[in-house]
A = this chain, B = another copy of it.
Amino acid sequence: MTESATSTPLPEPATGEIRLTAVLHALADPVRLQIVRQLAEGHEDMACIAFSLPVTKSTTTHHFRVLREAGVIRQHRRGTSRVSTLRTADLEQAVPGLLDRVLAAAQTEALRHPVDPPSDAPTME
């Protein structure tokens, strides 16, 4: 094997193939948004296990796959771990400014509502 086993990028869309609706859908899930927020918070590349997510391993794999197939993150292997990186530059080119605004809004909302209620809209219905 002439390939280096420590850098095997998993299949992902090219920058030009990143679709707006796919990105929006990927970011619309609370768990995935939490992953993206943690990735953006300085830790540029983290193993999946490092994220303290309220779901099981297989569900975690699922969410990372959705993010990767939407073009939001890049994944490659490092030893027995899977390292994830935000595709900041690619996203900036495909959907300029979107990631920053989403992250800023998520931060603001997190400060207002420390715990995220499932889906209650108190002032409506």
Residues of A within 8 A of B (CB): 11-14, 16-17, 19-22, 24-25, 27-30, 33, 69, 94-98, 100-102, 104-106, 109, 112, 119, 121-125
Q: Roughly how many angstroms separate A29 CA and B97 CA in the complex, as a whole number?
A: 20
Interface contact A12-B124, CB-CB below 8 Å: yes
Closest approach, in angstroms, between the C-beta of A62 and any C-beta of chain B?
16
Residues A123 and B24 in contact, CB atoms below 8 Å apart: no
Q: Which residues of B lie under 8 Å from residue A97 when comparing CB positions?
A: 97, 100-101, 104
Complex formed: what's the CA distance from A17 to B119 in Å? 11
Q: Given contacts A69-B124, A124-B69, is CB(A30)–CB(B24) below 8 Å? A: no
Min CB distance A76 to B, Å, is 16
Given contacts A17-B124, A21-B28, A24-B28, 15 further A-B pairs with CB under 8 A are A13-B124, A14-B123, A17-B122, A17-B123, A20-B102, A20-B109, A22-B119, A24-B24, A24-B27, A24-B102, A25-B28, A28-B28, A69-B121, A95-B101, A98-B102
